[in-house]
Amino acid sequence: MDRVNFRAKVLTGHLKNHHNSTIDLLHTAQCVNYSPPELCEPPSAFNTKALRKLLDGESMDEIDYIFNLMIQSDLFCPRERGGKVFISPDFNKSMEHQREMTMKRINYLREQGAFDGWLTRKGPDAERSGFTRGITFGVYDHSLGIKLGVHFFLWGGAIQFMGTKRHQDKWLKPTETYEVIGCFAMTELGHGSNVRGIETITRYDASTQEFIITTPCESAQKYWIGGAANHATHAVVFSQLKINGVNQGVHAFIAQIRDANGNICPNVRIADCGHKIGLNGVDNGRIWFDNLRIPRENLLNSVADVSPDGQYSSAIKDPDQRFAAFLAPLLSGRVTIAAGSMNITKIGLAIAVRYSLSRRAFSIRPNEPEVLLLDYPSHQRRLLPLVAKTYALSFASEYLKNIYVNRTRQSIKTVHVVSSALKATSTWHGMRTLQECREACGGQGLKTENHVGHLKSEFDVQLTFEGDNYVLMQQISKALLKEILAAKRRNKPVKGLGLEHLNKPAPIIPSHLTSSALRTAQFQTDIFCLRERDLLHRFETEVSQREARGESMEHIFTVTYQIAEDLGRAFSDRLVLQTFLDVEATVPAGSLKDVLGLLRSMYTTIVMEEDASFLRYGYLSTDNAAVVRKEVLKLCSEVRPHALALVTSFGIPDALLGPIAFNWIDANAWSSVKDNDTIKDNDTVFSFFSNML
Amino acid sequence: MAPTSQVLTKHSSNVRTIILNRPQQLNALTLEMVSQLLELLNAYEEDPSVKLVIMKGEGRAFCAGGDVAALANGSWKQGAVFFSRAYTIDYLVATYAKTQVSLIRGIAMGGGAALAIHGRFRVVTDNTLFAMPETALGSFPDVGSSYYLSRLPGFFGEYVGLTGARLDGAEMLACGLATHFVPLEKLSLLEDALCKANTGDPEIINNIIHDFSNKNPKLKEKSHYFRLKTINSCFSRRTVEEIISALEEEEADRNMDDWISWTIQALKKASPTSLKISLRSIRAGRLQGVRQCLIREYRIFCTILQGKVCKDFFEGCRALLLDKDKNPKWEPSKLELVSKQMVDSYFAPLDDEDWEDLKLPVRPNLTSYAISKL
């Protein structure tokens, strides 16, 4: 029915939109016309498909297939604006309605087989496909992406990585088919990033061979648990495990929290987290356990187990290492966030850049046409560096996906550090980009249908979940420090994490930088390495001085946060540059390679201009910093002709962008207002067909 | 008006009627016809005295499509010339600045259907018969159909494009391929009324057609359109293989369902290579504009004509149009033998010095209705 109405609406729209003869009389007065950027901009200097292939690689077909599935279903709320169809959730509906729509969309996608093999297929390709799905559904609606992410990556991932065969055999298939709906009960009111501090307690009753889960106090209530408020039937519950009075640390258990009819189980209490600034399509809830009994087999026992008579055993003796092993599922979450952030960023930039290529403001001389927004150097400076950085971070997140799906026991540490770095860097970049895009679109950026503004609140949580960004930055620095100290102790060169450059002499930065020097990969690599090297050295010095003064390590890391953050960023930036160069190396000489070189220079130059550490620690002299600033202006004007092609290569379908990315005049014309009345008449005309569907 | 002309025109003050006039061959398009159409459409668009353009076919068909049998014989470069002109017409119609009405009587297939469907007002009637039958011929639904098929409700477009299912006027109206259904006996009255109105105002034209039309033509009892639910659940699958196995599952669930059996048979009779190209093309079309769709389809058709990857098109023409033994021998003969690399090669630029991508004219006044009609 909806589909037919919708078609009727579209058709009526065409009939009403144009060539109104009375309006022709007014054409003597100059009106602002919409002119599609495709017609005014120079043809692309490079193959946009080839560039998209560098971003999406082998996943391209799967991504487009998912877009097809979403665009063709009425559940995704297609709407006509200015002659084009857009799909987007109705954010004007109540929280409850949004949640139910998320679930309906999931059911539809499941019926089309979109989740087949997500958890039951094994190997790098299957894992890559899982990422592709999770991330691409999120392009439509972050709530949809998160709701699926919780179910597949967190709940499913916990069973895959923390459970053993008995759990995998029992739970993975029904999870894929949604007979079981999972959630991930880790965070508590009193403890978030500090998972080891959670207060939920689980004891063992050997007489019945059951675990008993208890919420001992209000701060131990599980909080923000996605899926818990309405839909989840099962939870992975993180809890301290007390065996014979000894606390064995945090362990994970499977607990059923609802029956098949959706009734909350006895000894479980669930409450809603309420309306949020975004993500209202996800039912975040709170859970209390009142001595809930679960079978002994429900302990996810990949690293530790409890025997029927209540004896605790673990293959990993070191509680630190055991804890790290427990957190494995969070790793895939970070990979998803890093890559997913880039999608959101691409949406924002595609909309803002397209708008800036069709919207004009102010004439330079009287009676001349107004100037296109993106022809203002200041507007270029606002948007184009963000485009370059999005490419850089997208290449890096592709690299992260690759090292994740091909991880080994040896490489897991690298995955950990790289995922922390990119999760933080990408989400910060995403948030900043959306704000800039919002402002660049002016008032139109405030309309929900134009996405850029609304996406900010949908996206904001990424900076917090799976590890607060600042906490992650400090973790990176700690890991780097550990790495070089271990190498020193063993008296061996540093290896791994891209730190090999530390074994060479420090690079020399020319005292008088030139524009051409700024654009060489050599200089860019040198200065990024120099910054990382120097900051690591400063960090090491400060830590060891404080250690000599007898300060505790915990205390030292809390007071050295400034340099730790600088170092975390330096590591990320150098890593991103390295992956960019690796991608460039795969491209044959030609226009595409040239554009990539331009984007890389834009990325590195903007990092140097914006990060105070280059001046603070003297990697750039004030003279050189002035050269850098000038170069930014030049680079912007050189990237400008490629702007449209660069956002086209992002590969986000038109239907998922906002109306201001296209004919925003027609989208706002009076006739489109009138359409809303005629729709009602058509309901009766077309109701005949609705009976058949 | 030359009596032998394959395209006739009729002038009535500010209205021009274009009549496809090759009735013995069901108005199948020849190179001469496409060249003439291109010229006419361009001229009418520029001529300020023309307000409305009507298109129709002489005899019992609107247009049965391109005269492909002739093409299969010539060199691929001759074929490329034909298609570049035919696709340019489709683009012109899709982006036409003037109001345009197609009166679709009888058969409208392949390129013939596209002439009308890209236009603004598509009037169908009791004996209208639409199909995109290319996969049975070793070809694929082209002429910009990856644009309009992909915009039909749900996955109906995949169904119509892959199976070559025939739709009547009522079904075309229901799925959006047509904008109006006018009973056969009123069709010439409508034409007269349009000429008499002598206006290009789309709202007035719409009201006139509306007055003659049957708003609720009854769908026949066995209409494909009643199967939309099954079509959506099967034809939304990722690959042709998965579509067929989903259909077979449905078949197993119900006894003796003629429609499902027919659908499976249609897919099994079609060229496996064609099916894979077609599905991929429709899916790509869903994410693209009509211009990009035509450019992609042109690449595909030139690759087909070049015959380096697969010769199914020539085999299909032989079996269905020339020898008429209706028993084409497809090569590769099975879906699983058609590799991804093979399919990929149809979507890439041709490996030939003389070849270049389709150059479509720049259309400066693209109005929004010209971007999306369905």
**pLDDT-based confidence at residue B195 (cuts at 50, 70, 90):** very high
In this prediction, residue A672 carries a pLDDT of 81
User: Cβ contact (<8 Å) for A83 and B372?
Assistant: yes
- For chain B, which residues make up each domain, given as ranges? 7-346
To the nearest whole Å, the CA of A654 is away from the closest chain B CA by: 7
Q: Which residues of A touch B372 (CB under 8 A)?
A: 10, 80, 83-85
To the nearest whole Å, the CA of A222 is away from the closest chain B CA by: 39
What is the dihedral sign for C-alpha B28, B29, B33, B37? positive
Under DSSP, the state recorded for B149 is: G
- When CB atoms are compared, the residue of B233, B283, B289 closest to A111 is B233
Q: Please, are residues A304 and A298 in contact by the beta-carbon 8 Å criterion?
A: no
**pLDDT-based confidence at residue A337 (cuts at 50, 70, 90):** very high
The reply to whether B197 touches chain A by the CB within 8 Å rule is no
In this prediction, residue A8 carries a pLDDT of 52
| Interface predicted TM-score (ipTM) of this complex, two decimals | 0.87
Is B138 a known active-site residue? Answer: no
Question: Which of B134, B168, B297, B315 is an active site residue?
Answer: B134
- When CB atoms are compared, the residue of B153, B200, B289 closest to A19 is B200
The reply to whether B233 touches chain A by the CB within 8 Å rule is yes
Q: What is the pTM of this model?
A: 0.90
Under DSSP, the state recorded for B58 is: S
Question: Which of B79, B111, B164, B316 is an active site residue?
Answer: B111
Is B161 a known active-site residue? Answer: no
User: Cβ contact (<8 Å) for A17 and B200?
Assistant: no
The reply to whether B183 touches chain A by the CB within 8 Å rule is no
Mind listing the pLDDT tens digit for each residue in B236-291? Answer: 999 999 999 999 999 988 776 899 999 999 999 999 999 999 999 999 999 998 99
> Which of B175, B218, B233, B236 to probe the A interface (max A CBs under 10 A)?
B236
Please say if the pLDDT value at position B4 is more than 70.
Answer: no
Please say if the pLDDT value at position A287 is more than 70.
Answer: yes
User: Cβ contact (<8 Å) for B370 and A83?
Assistant: yes
To the nearest whole Å, the CA of A693 is away from the closest chain B CA by: 7
CB atoms near residue B366 (< 10 Å) = 21
To the nearest whole Å, the CA of B79 is away from the closest chain A CA by: 26
Please say if the pLDDT value at position A584 is more than 60.
Answer: yes
User: Cβ contact (<8 Å) for B155 and A688?
Assistant: no
Instruction: Tell me the percentage of chain A whose pLDDT exceeds 90.
Output: 84
To the nearest whole Å, the CA of B30 is away from the closest chain A CA by: 32
**pLDDT-based confidence at residue A83 (cuts at 50, 70, 90):** confident
On the question of a cis peptide bond just before residue B332, with omega within 30 degrees of 0, the verdict is: yes
Q: State which residue of chain A sits closest to B179, comparing Cα positions.
A: A11
The mean per-residue pLDDT over the stretch A49-61 comes to 94
Q: Which residues of A touch B276 (CB under 8 A)?
A: none
Is B66 a known active-site residue? Answer: yes
User: Cβ contact (<8 Å) for B201 and A10?
Assistant: no
Instruction: Tell me the percentage of chain B whose pLDDT exceeds 70.
Output: 95
Q: Which residues of A touch B99 (CB under 8 A)?
A: 19
To the nearest whole Å, the CA of B340 is away from the closest chain A CA by: 11
Q: State which residue of chain A sits closest to B234, comparing Cα positions.
A: A112
- Please name the residues in contact with B268: beta carbons below 8 A apart, sequence gap of 6 or more: B244
Is B142 a known active-site residue? Answer: yes
The reply to whether B203 touches chain A by the CB within 8 Å rule is yes
Please say if the pLDDT value at position B218 is more than 80.
Answer: yes
To the nearest whole Å, the CA of B8 is away from the closest chain A CA by: 28
- Please name the residues in contact with B291: beta carbons below 8 A apart, sequence gap of 6 or more: B91, B360
Mind listing the pLDDT tens digit for each residue in A627-657? Answer: 999 999 999 999 999 999 999 999 999 999 9
Please give the single-letter amino acid code of residue A249.
Answer: G
Q: Which of residues 72-101 of B touch A (CB under 8 A)?
A: 99
Dihedral, CA of residue A162, residue A164, residue A166 and residue A167, to nearest 10: 20
**pLDDT-based confidence at residue A9 (cuts at 50, 70, 90):** low
∠ CA A184-A187-A192, rounded to 5°:
145
To the nearest whole Å, the CA of B154 is away from the closest chain A CA by: 5
CA–CA distance, A53 with A57 (Å, rounded to integer)? 5
Q: Which residues of B touch A68 (CB under 8 A)?
A: 150, 236, 283, 286-287
CB atoms near residue A510 (< 10 Å) = 11
In this prediction, residue A319 carries a pLDDT of 79
In this prediction, residue A326 carries a pLDDT of 73
CA–CA distance, A133 with B211 (Å, rounded to integer)? 49
Please say if the pLDDT value at position A28 is more than 80.
Answer: no
User: Cβ contact (<8 Å) for B287 and A113?
Assistant: no
The reply to whether B206 touches chain A by the CB within 8 Å rule is yes
To the nearest whole Å, the CA of B343 is away from the closest chain A CA by: 12
CA–CA distance, B109 with B143 (Å, rounded to integer)? 11
Mind listing the pLDDT tens digit for each residue in A509-563? Answer: 999 999 999 999 999 999 999 999 999 999 999 999 999 999 999 999 999 999 9
Under DSSP, the state recorded for B323 is: S
> Which of B181, B287, B366 to probe the A interface (max A CBs under 10 A)?
B287
Q: Note the CATH architecture for domain B7-346.
A: Alpha-Beta Complex (3.90)
Please say if the pLDDT value at position B41 is more than 50.
Answer: yes
The mean per-residue pLDDT over the stretch A111-123 comes to 94
pLDDT, chain A, mean: 92
Q: How far apart are the first and last CA of chain B?
A: 35
CA–CA distance, A357 with A373 (Å, rounded to integer)? 7
Closest Cα partner for A625 from A639, A611, A640, A638? Answer: A611
Q: Please, are residues A693 and A4 in contact by the beta-carbon 8 Å criterion?
A: yes
Q: Which residues of A touch B246 (CB under 8 A)?
A: 113
- When CB atoms are compared, the residue of A36, A68, A692 closest to B219 is A692
Q: State which residue of chain A sits closest to B99, comparing Cα positions.
A: A19
Please say if the pLDDT value at position A692 is more than 90.
Answer: no
- When CB atoms are compared, the residue of B151, B246, B369 closest to A18 is B369
**C-beta pairs of A171-175 under 8 Å, 24+ apart in sequence:** A171/A234, A171/A254, A172/A119, A172/A120, A173/A119, A173/A120, A175/A119, A175/A151
- When CB atoms are compared, the residue of B150, B236, B286 closest to A112 is B236
Question: Which of B57, B65, B66, B144 is an active site residue?
Answer: B66
The reply to whether B193 touches chain A by the CB within 8 Å rule is no
Q: Please, are residues B334 and B103 in contact by the beta-carbon 8 Å criterion?
A: no
Q: State which residue of chain B sits closest to A662, comparing Cα positions.
A: B368
Q: Which residues of B touch A653 (CB under 8 A)?
A: 286-287
Mind listing the pLDDT tens digit for each residue in A392-422? Answer: 999 999 999 999 999 988 888 899 999 999 9
- Please name the residues in contact with B287: beta carbons below 8 A apart, sequence gap of 6 or more: A64, A67, A68, A71, A653, A654, A655
Q: Where do runs of H (alpha helix) occur along A151-244?
A: 157-161, 165-176
CB atoms near residue A371 (< 10 Å) = 14
CA–CA distance, B194 with B10 (Å, rounded to integer)? 13
Q: Which residues of A touch B250 (CB under 8 A)?
A: none
- Residue A275, token pair as written in the block: 């309306």
CA–CA distance, A198 with B82 (Å, rounded to integer)? 73
In this prediction, residue A148 carries a pLDDT of 97
A466: left (phi over 0), alpha (psi -120 to 50) or beta: left
Chain A to chain B, count of Cβ pairs less than 8 Å apart? 101
Identify the helix (H) or strand (E) that includes residue A102: helix A95-111
- When CB atoms are compared, the residue of B362, B368, B373 closest to A666 is B368
In this prediction, residue B77 carries a pLDDT of 84
> Which of B220, B369, B373, B374 to probe the A interface (max A CBs under 10 A)?
B369
